[in-house]
Amino acid sequence: MSRADLVVGADGLARCGWVGDDPEYSRYHDEEWGRPLHGDRALFEKLSLEGFQAGLSWITILRRRPAFRAAFRDFDIAAVAAFDDADVERLMGDAGIIRNRAKIEATISNARITRELVADDPGALDRLIWSYAPAPGARPSALSDVPAVTPEATALSTALKRLGYRFVGPTTMYALMQSAGLVDDHVAGCWRAA
């Protein structure tokens, strides 16, 4: 294990090295990342934010999450599914979010797909995503042991793409699996790994 695999915060706790010294990253790491997340709305939000993150750093999205939540009506599936061209233009003018037309339009389209998926079957998105959770494996001993993509993430990506979802590539889906707790990639020695 290299020194970069873990960082020790001012509170004396060892954390996964990707946290660095950013207080928001520390809070996210400690309170959210790797903890099981359930619910169609919560997972739709996570799916949407991971899509916006593609090509960017997660801290960029995390710092803008309050603005994303305001702009996308707290990721209420029905509300986002009802967005129209005027909403797209409103979002394109919102400096608080990532103003990428393709990602904005994909989020609205994904909301419409999700609305249909869960209309007669609440919990369907939750069950779909969690059906791809891998069996628990060995705890990574170093950040270099953490994969960028797995067969399960690739299969989840394929299943979502078949339904018409966009910005759900295998790497993005593995990031979702990590952040929503389908996998636990806290490295050995991290206080959350205990």
Cα 89-73-173 angle, rounded to 5 deg: 90
Is residue 48 within 8 Å of 168, Cβ to Cβ? Answer: no
Q: How far apart are CA 93 and CA 71, in angstroms?
A: 11
Q: Based on the residue annotation, tell me whether 28 is a catalytic residue of this protein.
A: yes
DSSP 145: G
Q: Based on the residue annotation, tell me whether 58 is a catalytic residue of this protein.
A: yes
The residue from 32, 58, 105, 191 that is catalytic is: 58
The residue from 28, 105, 116, 191 that is catalytic is: 28
The alpha carbon torsion through 122, 178, 49, 17 (nearest 10 deg) reads 160
Is residue 91 within 8 Å of 97, Cβ to Cβ? Answer: yes
The per-residue b/e assignment along 1-33, b for 16 or more CB within 10 angstroms, e otherwise, is: eeeebbbebeeebbbbbbbeeeeebbebbbeeb
The residue from 18, 33, 50, 132 that is catalytic is: 50
Taking the CA atoms of 172, 177, 180 and 183 in sequence, report the sign of the dihedral they define. Answer: negative
Which residues are part of the catalytic machinery?
Answer: 28, 50, 58
